[in-house]
């Protein structure tokens, strides 16, 4: 779209269409959560139980507490459960009549029993029982491009022209020829954008998704300055010479982001920069409630982000909204980083951080 076309857009109308479109996606993802609630008997367990915590529900159902906590928060965000703090939840009698009481005339949850992708619902239902979630590769064919499809428009708009100039001295180093590593590179979009803009730099990508790395290797088959590795962030070698490291929308998906952070500390140069892009969220429940897409965020977490973050027995399970600024600051400090700056970027979904040794 040209500049003239962009300037001619009515911002209020654009916002309305954007919210309406994402609202349909939210409906899709929340539908999956209602399916799981019905399938696993969660609404029935909540009916008449009063205010409960995820621990209470786990004790009654025998299901995994961390998965239940994310589901409960998503249901509260969708206004299907009542919660003032994101810790205790109430299925009100009127909601129970719609969601839990199958013998009544107002019961509606039954229409959510059948889904177009039952295999994924099967995997998630089992995850509630075992605690282990499906990896991104386990989430089905096309999962390698799904994340890029969501992130590409904002990445193309912001990464090179807006975000890079905010990072002190980084553009000059890239132009002169820097060593860059993208941890959680996916199919390689960010690497491609930077390699196009700064051809004298050397780029490496790391990702544990076989599907994504296969796409990235094809993407960079003719690029001498881009190499991708089928490996996790914790496998980053401690070379101490990387000028710029990026983790873009991926730390919260990792089972052990703490190990990845420690490896990044060993790989980065003493004057290097670590760019972190993470989902916009707060440590406080009432602030997250301001997000009109909060229910979709929690549903996406159960179906994708937290699923990945719980895909190993020792996974921390941060989930989509689990790496708020306070948590990120604590974790990066624990990994040995001293510099922590949050930049103001016009991105409604993500926050951007400049982190230094």
Q: What are the tens digits of pLDDT across the range 263-297?
A: 999 999 999 999 999 999 999 999 999 999 898 89
For the domain spanning 16-131, the CATH number is 1.10.10.10
List the structure tokens of 228.
């991708």
Whether pTM exceeds 0.85: no
Averaged confidence pLDDT in the chain: 93
β-bridge pairing 268-279 and 350-356 = antiparallel
pLDDT value of position 6: 57
* pLDDT, tens only, 333-347: 999 999 999 999 999
Same fold, 16-131 and 145-281+323-356: no
pLDDT bucket at 2, cuts 50 / 70 / 90? low
Contact 127, 64 (CB under 8 A): yes
CA distances from 189 to 4, 83, 160, 195, 217 (A): 27, 39, 12, 10, 12
> Which residue bears the tokens 């249901």?
75
pLDDT of 218 over the 90 cut: yes
* pLDDT, tens only, 128-175: 999 999 998 888 777 777 778 777 888 888 999 999 999 999 999 999
Of the candidate CATH numbers 3.40.50.150, 3.90.1150.10, 1.10.150.20, 3.40.50.1820, the domain formed by 145-281+323-356 belongs to 3.40.50.150
Q: Percent of the chain, pLDDT > 70?
A: 97
* pLDDT, tens only, 305-335: 999 999 999 999 999 999 999 999 999 999 9
Domain chopping of the chain, boundaries: 16-131, 145-281+323-356
213-230: average pLDDT: 96
pLDDT value of position 38: 93
**CA torsion through residues 146, 150, 156, 159, sign:** negative
């Amino acid at each position: 779209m040209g500049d003239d076309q962009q300037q001619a857009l009515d911002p209020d109308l654009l916002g309305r269409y954007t919210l309406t479109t994402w609202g349909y996606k939210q409906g899709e993802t929340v539908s999956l959560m209602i399916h799981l609630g019905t399938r696993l008997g969660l609404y029935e367990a909540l009916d008449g139980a009063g205010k409960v915590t995820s621990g209470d529900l786990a004790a009654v159902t025998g299901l995994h507490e961390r998965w239940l906590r994310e589901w409960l928060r998503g249901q509260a965000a969708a206004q299907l459960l009542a919660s003032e703090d994101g810790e205790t939840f109430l299925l009100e009698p009127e909601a129970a009549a719609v969601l839990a009481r199958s013998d009544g005339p107002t019961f509606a949850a039954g229409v959510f029993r059948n889904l177009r992708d039952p295999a994924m619902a099967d995997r998630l239902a089992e995850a509630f029982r075992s605690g282990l979630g499906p990896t991104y590769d386990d989430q089905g064919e096309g999962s390698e491009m799904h994340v890029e499809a969501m992130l590409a428009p904002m990445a193309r708009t912001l990464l090179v022209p807006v975000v890079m100039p905010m990072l002190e001295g980084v553009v000059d180093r890239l132009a002169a020829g820097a060593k860059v590593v993208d941890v959680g590179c996916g199919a390689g979009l960010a690497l491609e954008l930077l390699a196009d803009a700064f051809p004298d730099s050397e780029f490496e990508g790391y990702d544990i998704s076989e599907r994504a790395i296969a796409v990235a290797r094809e993407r960079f088959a003719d690029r001498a300055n881009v190499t991708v590795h089928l490996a996790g962030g914790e496998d980053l070698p401690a070379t101490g010479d990387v000028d710029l490291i990026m983790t873009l929308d991926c730390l919260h998906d990792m089972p052990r982001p703490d190990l990845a952070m420690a490896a990044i500390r060993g790989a980065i140069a003493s004057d290097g920069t670590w760019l972190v892009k993470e989902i916009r969220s707060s440590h406080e429940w009432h602030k997250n409630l301001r997000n009109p897409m909060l229910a979709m965020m929690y549903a996406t977490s159960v179906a994708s982000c937290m699923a990945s973050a719980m895909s190993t027995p020792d996974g921390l399970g941060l989930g989509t909204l689990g790496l708020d600024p306070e948590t990120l600051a604590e974790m990066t400090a624990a990994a040995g980083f001293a510099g922590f700056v949050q930049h103001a970027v016009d991105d409604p979904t993500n926050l951007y951080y400049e982190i230094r040794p």
